[in-house]
Amino acid sequence: MQRMKETIRARRYALGMTQQQLSDRLGVSAAAVSKWELGASYPDVTLLPALARALETDLNTLMGFEREPEKEEINRLLQQINDLAKAQGIGAAMIRAQEILREYPSCGALLFGVCATLEGRMMMSGEDRAQYEAQLESWYRRAADSADPEASEAAAHLLAGKYINRGELDCAQAMMERLPKEPAAPHWPLEISLLLAKGEKRQARGLLENTLFRRAGDVQQILLRLVQAELDEGNTDQAQKLADVTRDFVGLLHMHPYAACLVQLMPALKRQDEKESIRHIRAMLDALETQWTPGEGLLYAHSGVKKSGHAAMPAGIFRELRESEEYAFLRENSEFIRLLADYTQA
């Protein structure tokens, strides 16, 4: 019965109902619905059929008897959605996603995976996401409310970012409060020591390399934010110095070269330097087309980090180049026009 509270809350959110609206349909108080969702009490057994109908679900799902899909099945369903979006467009994929999530309404991993897959396809295709945003956000909220800790954390993190970008700071704060606090002391040194004590040297090396890869990613994000902070303060020269440090860091730690190009582009755009901006945009697009293989280098050879690369250039990038105000000063530049033509025709 523990999952009933999660199902009631998730389905109510998905249908856009308030606790008061649900209580009115069932002839109970809003306080009773609140207690159900907190797990402080449960609906009377005679209310269950009406509650299931109101939440557009079935009794098995409502009472927590829903069958959870296995990881392999989740991957298969996500691939199905991805293939459908690629072949028939986002609209068709959204319809299929709704069908799948009606069958598995409380599976956090599937909810988050569906949203991430659809958003990824929209970025690749450049298709307008405005008409789908409300539905995707509803699914992200259900993932954040799910019993899956990894999916819940990932969804809460993503939603907090969306709320910050929209200026909904109270909502962002509420989501951030759900996120686990970082431990005062990291666990990885103990894990390494334990592996070495067991004689598992290769596993220890792999864990060290994975830890380095993750920490390098964190430092890269910090440096990018520092560059942006200097630009926001109007300190373009200081931002350029930090951008140079970031570029060197990315190369030294074998991070994706796209980040080195992006960070050099940021001060060039602020200065509205057409020549330098176009040079860095071209380098950035070239980096996206180049396969990145960190696991084949010195630092991450035992990490299991996979190679990556784009089979097709994300259309969302070209949409931003054409429409974002940040690039407006380039739009009459003949070299910029040729650059866009070269990559969109490739």
Residue 345 in tokens: 């025709």
The structure tokens 């931002």 sit at: 239
For 135-161, what is the mean pLDDT?
93
Q: Whole-angstrom Cα distance, residue 276 to residue 310?
A: 25
CATH 1.25.40 fits 71-176, yes or no: yes
- Is 220 within 8 Å of 259 (Cβ atoms)? yes
Domain limits, the chain: 2-62, 71-176, 213-345
Tell me how far apart the alpha carbons of residues 69 and 109 are, in angstroms, rounded to a whole number: 9
**Taking 60 as the threshold, does the pLDDT of residue 211 lie above it?**
yes
Instruction: Give the whole-angstrom CA distance, residue 219 versus residue 318.
Output: 28
pLDDT tens sequence across 268-296: 999 999 999 999 999 999 998 888 888 88
In whole angstroms, give the CA distance from residue 287 to residue 265. 13
What's the pTM value of the predicted model, to 2 decimals?
Answer: 0.71
Kindly report, residue by residue over 58-104, the tens digit of the pLDDT. Answer: 777 777 665 678 899 999 999 999 999 999 999 999 999 999 998 88
- In the chain, what is the straight-line distance between the N-terminal and C-terminal CA atoms, in Å? 56
Are the beta carbons of 144 and 171 closer than 8 angstroms? Answer: no
* Class level of CATH domain 2-62: mainly alpha
**What is residue 213's three-state secondary structure?**
helix
The CA distance from 108 to 146, in Å, is: 5
Whole-number Å distance between alpha carbons of 179 and 171: 13
Cα–Cα distance list, 8 to 56, 94, 258 (Å): 10, 23, 43
